Amino acid sequence: MSQFIHIGFGNIVNTDKIIAVVSPESAPVKRLVQTAKEKGTAVDATQGRKTKAVLVMENSQLILSALLPETIAGRAQSDKDEAGENTAGGKEHMR
């Protein structure tokens, strides 16, 4: 079953399709984002705010988020922990 996480402003993504969550500050990532915008494969989920994270998806699409990469990664890990995945003891905490 697919897991979804909130990436800000009511937007959600399928965690099974995420390859990486990176900071948009480096020159290579900036070029990657610019190329994706030109090709139409970038999804801007920032609601006009500064891009703080870029999610690289399986299908080569990029999703731009106003949340920090650490926040998104924490939410993805938290959801997997709650589903009983990636933990030795199953569910460890509740929200």
pLDDT of residue 91: 39
Q: What is the pTM for the complete model shown?
A: 0.83
| Contact in structure between 33 and 64 (CB atoms under 8 Å) | yes
Helix segments in 10-68, DSSP class H: 27-39
Token pair of 15 as six digits: 């965690």
**73 burial level (CB within 10 Å; 0-12, 13-18, 19+):** middle
Q: pLDDT of 4-29, one tens digit each?
A: 999 999 999 999 999 999 999 999 99
| Contact in structure between 76 and 58 (CB atoms under 8 Å) | no
pLDDT of residue 44: 98
Helix (H) or strand (E) holding 79: helix 69-82
Token pair 């999610």: residue: 55
Q: pLDDT of 35-94, one tens digit each?
A: 999 999 999 999 999 999 999 999 999 999 999 999 999 999 887 787 775 544 443 333
